[in-house]
Chain A
Amino acid sequence: SQKIEQNSEALNIQEGKTATLTCNYTNYSPAYLQWYRQDPGRGPVFLLLIRENEKEKRKERLKVTFDTTLKQSLFHITASQPADSATYLCALPFSGNTPLVFGKGTRLSVIA
């Protein structure tokens, strides 16, 4: 069956360090993958989209990689700040133009 797994439910890191979150998927052939940030009780906020023919994408302190052979995406936040504390969700379509399927998310806590 098709599955998305985000490596851990929770991740604690010290301020200033780089946070690395993992998203693995099985039995998919997604054309792209997206990352969202979600604060408690709020809707997800779109961060980055990376397509299958892109290896890496950057936006300010954020970097996403997409390895279609390993079926894995890595999401990095460099120089992390306490304000980066949130749940981060990865999402991708089963294939083609099908709706997004979301992982359960990883709750990141950046400690000052």
Chain B
Amino acid sequence: DAGVTQSPTHLIKTRGQQVTLRCSPKSGHDTVSWYQQALGQGPQFIFQYYEEEERQRGNFPDRFSGHQFPNYSSELNVNALLLGDSALYLCASKGHGADEQYFGPGTRLTVT
């Protein structure tokens, strides 16, 4: 049983560019959340998707957007990249109504 998977593992982008990160949830999970983790900090909640809709959103600008597909996989898009967007981006999945969530290995984004 595969856990949460994310792609790519690492990514280097230039300021102003756009990036798309991908996530496949753990089998049986239908709710996906995205987090940003800066070095030395805890993960910060970006948004959560359930039934292909954004259900909750953290304190992130509109440059951060997402999508969930019918198979529950999800994408995180970031437009107009800033140097400060450099971080580890984590995807977490859970069953609807469950409290425990499971994280993927993350995508390390570097913006130069």
Q: Which residues of A come within 8 Å of B, CB atoms?
A: 4, 32, 34, 36, 41-46, 49, 89, 91, 98-105
Contact = CB atoms under 8 A, between A and B. Distances in A.
A101 B45 contact: yes
A104 B33 contact: no
A46 B90 CA distance: 14
B100 A34 contact: yes
B108 A99 contact: no
B54 to A, nearest CB: 12
B105 A103 contact: no
Contacts of B48: 99
Contact of A104 (B42, B88, B104): B42
Interface residues of B, number: 23
A36 B43 CA distance: 11
Contact of B103 (A32, A44, A101): A44
Interface string B98-110: 0111111110100
Contacts of B58: 99
Given A45-B103, A99-B48, 7 more contacts: A41-B108, A44-B90, A44-B103, A49-B100, A91-B42, A102-B44, A104-B42
Q: Is the interface of A mostly helix, strand, loop or mixed?
A: strand
B104 A43 contact: yes
Contacts, number: 47
A32 B99 contact: yes
A45 B61 CA distance: 28
A99 B100 CA distance: 12
B56 interface: yes
Contacts of A101: 45
B106 A46 contact: no
Nearest to A48: B100
A57 B41 CA distance: 26
Nearest to B90: A43
Contact of B40 (A41, A89, A99, A104): A104
A77 B90 CA distance: 26
Contacts of A45: 103
